[in-house]
Structure 1
Amino acid sequence: MKKSIWLLLILAPLLPEISTGSSSIESLFDPVHLVILLLGYGLAVLVIREFSIRRSLSYAGIYILGIAFGVFNEGFLAKVLIKESDLPITQYDGYGVWGGVNMGFTLAISLWHALFSVLIPILIVHRLKPETSTVPWLSKRATLFSGVLLVVLGYLSLFGSHIVQGNITQALILSAIMLLCFVVGARFKKKEKEGELLPAGNFSWRPVWLGTSLFVSYFIILTYLLILAGLTYPLYRQTSSYERIKQSSDNRKEIIAKDKINS
């Protein structure tokens, strides 16, 4: 049981952070950074896994809970979702900022986290440790304590002054999204005849290739193609942040053009 727990604690941050280049291999040897990853990713995913097992949730239910994890990780801890600009994917700068929350990037990154930070790590550990895949790994008290600890750390981080300081409106919006995900996700119960996505047995490369292709295609679909197709409906166009950032971008282009002419 302990091996399964540690495997998930390590795998949950390792897959999304290292594969995307958000964290380097060297940073894993930094004790502070490692603790942050284990709490922000590993413990949070473990709590979701325990909740889903006790509630007998389907893979769809786990995925929806994974969306809540994406909001928690990127909104409360990294605080990327409450930034109007300088986002990891700059195409979302100023897109859909409502109540101080970048709703466009919230949708994109949370759907990604749900798959690659939550569902896939859980499936991998369940395949490697099939004998423990259907039973809880933590007691109810330990699960509750871990959940409360994460909530407290999340709010302390959000209202902290590092990176950017969040406000009550942003906290309410992010919390409401997470609560909605848990309410909806809890309704997706596992059916009796539902099989395993990664059944134990002979190793197959098919899940590996599927996961790799999804990893690459996801960002293409939810970033460049949607934006190139004109993802500028009224909600986005009417945000003051969009206009402000667009004006700043236009000003930079004018300065660059003038410099080229003068040179």
Structure 2
Amino acid sequence: MSDVLLVERRGGLAELTLNRPAARNALDVELKQALVDELDAVAADPAVRAVLLTGNGPAFCVGQDLAELARSLETDPASASDTVELHFNPITRLLATMPKPVVAAVHGTCVGAGLGFALACDVQVWGAGVTLATAFTGVALTCDSGLSASLARSVGEARARELVLLGDAFTPERGVAWGLAGRVVAPDEVVSTARSLAERLADGPTLALAASKELIAAGSSSSLDEVLAAEAAAQARCGASADHLAAVRAFLAKEPPVLLGR
């Protein structure tokens, strides 16, 4: 594990903290590769049942480290954009598709790929008044990290077009009013609120949560018959799980269930 990414295990919860506070958690190669490696590890680890992603210092993440990018453009411009395929795409894919829930704790400035990563998570907790922005066109680039899809799904295509093309900053309060998911709390309460939600998810029915995540992701591009068939198959898998039996028994006994994620 690299010093630029802190990892802490709390029972079934893995907390990943971007740790370049002096650079506002800008994404250099070391941090991006550490994220790819650690997200891949926690995605495959059955002992991890939920993930919390946050940042150290005053910012959540300001996106690509532009100083590093400038050096790449000077020394090897043909390969400068390779990081999208090598790093941004796998990070986004892992956040969005790993078979366990991911919570983003956005306590400070969150722009560019940082915003893309936050929206790739399943649940967001935003700090009141913090700065959000797409930022890409400000450096003559376009979207990465899935933002062209995740932002449009959240706030609508027309609003997303305006936010991307103009690049104007906005607050979580405005974003939620436009359709961003998540709750807005005081910045100093973001991590504790997100941790509470992540711990709740880590104690939940992991197989059912993973199936729900997959169904919702596929549902918007599937026909009704495809949706119904996928739901039936997923229900059969979840219905055969030990957690399902334990949850039904606990419900009938009017007791809180103890779920083991299997």
Q: TM-score, normalised by structure 2?
A: 0.30
Higher CA-based Rg: 1
Q: TM-score, normalised by structure 1?
A: 0.30
Larger RCO: 1 or 2 (CA < 8 Å, sep 6+): 1
Higher strand share: 2
